[in-house]
Amino acid sequence: MNKSIVNEDCIKQIEKIIDKNFIKLNEPMSKHTSFRVGGNADAYIIVQNKENLIEVLKIAKEYNLPITIVGNGTNLLVKDNGIRGLVINYASSNFEIIDANKVDGCKIKVDSGVKNGVLAQFLLKNELTGFEFAAGIPGTIGGAIYMNAGAFGGEIANIVESVTYISLKDLKVYTLKNEQCEFAYRTSIFEQDEDKIILEAIFNFKKGKKEEIAQKMDEFRNKRLSSQPLDKPSAGSTFKRGENFITAKLIDECNLKGYKIGGAQVSEKHAGFIINTGNASAKDIIDLIEYVKTKVYEKFGVEIKPEVRVIGEWKIK
């Protein structure tokens, strides 16, 4: 196990801001990711609000510690040697309720720690449409903005008006308009520059009818259940869509459905998903990602790219 670089003095400073129950040392990241794999975080801090997040970031800067921000852990693959420094979870139960005062007509200000499903239910209740595509995407608003999440023809870039973030360089807060966020397929300026930590966003929705919104959400949910291996640990779709090809179709045509390395397997239900059959290591999953990439390239001459965010010790090729 790698030696922690977080010292006792730093933890004591954090304890002045964060309840001890929300500070976990040498915490297995397998407990906090949907893949159910990953080594230990030196310190795993569950932050309850934006103000506390900023204070913890100040302490991290004082002690010159690396920072990793995570939400619900649903698009993460943490390597087996874990993560050095502070891992800050910004998706606590405090974000389960959305302040109705943050709604202005069809506009709503949402903390980045709010889960997509929580926002979807709030919008349903308030008869606001435009987010149905994301109702079943696991994870938080921050993660959805970070990777410009999308499904069923919709994506976050289409509904965001502005994003407020804190810069790790100077610990100042800035706001970017939609066009400044550099949204593209499954990426944004926040993925390209991880010094920018998303705090909140303003979304623009449209008035809708509750019955129609609910019907659309149910339709998308049923499509997911019928086509995706939601009963197995994974990080959702493992690979990005190609510009002129369907990645899962190419993987399927390489006869890779069901192929295993260790405890990692290409899903037999959907070739675009790699799943943990129960005892996978992060290395198993990364080796399988590389194997699939190689086989697809050998057969079709195209490079497929992972959609999952890989973090921690040792690098993916």
Closest Cα partner for 34 from 271, 308, 314? 308
In the set 27, 186, 200, 281, the catalytic residue is 186
Task: Decide if 84 contacts 78 (C-beta within 8 A).
Answer: no
Q: Which of 112, 234, 237, 281 is catalytic?
A: 237
Burial of 61 (0-12, 13-18, 19+ CB in 10 A): middle
Residue type (1 letter), 295: K
- Is 36 assigned a catalytic role? no
DSSP state of 100: G
- What residue has token string 């870039």? 157
User: Which residues, 6 or more positions from 310, have their beta carbon under 8 angstroms from its beta carbon?
Assistant: 76, 77, 79, 286, 316
Asked if 186 is an active-site residue, the reply is: yes
The reply to whether 237 belongs to the active site is yes
Q: Coil, strand or helix: which one is 174?
A: strand
DSSP alpha helix (H) spans, the chain: 8-15, 50-62, 116-125, 141-146, 189-192, 210-227, 247-253, 282-300
Question: Which active-site residues does the annotation give?
Answer: 186, 237, 307
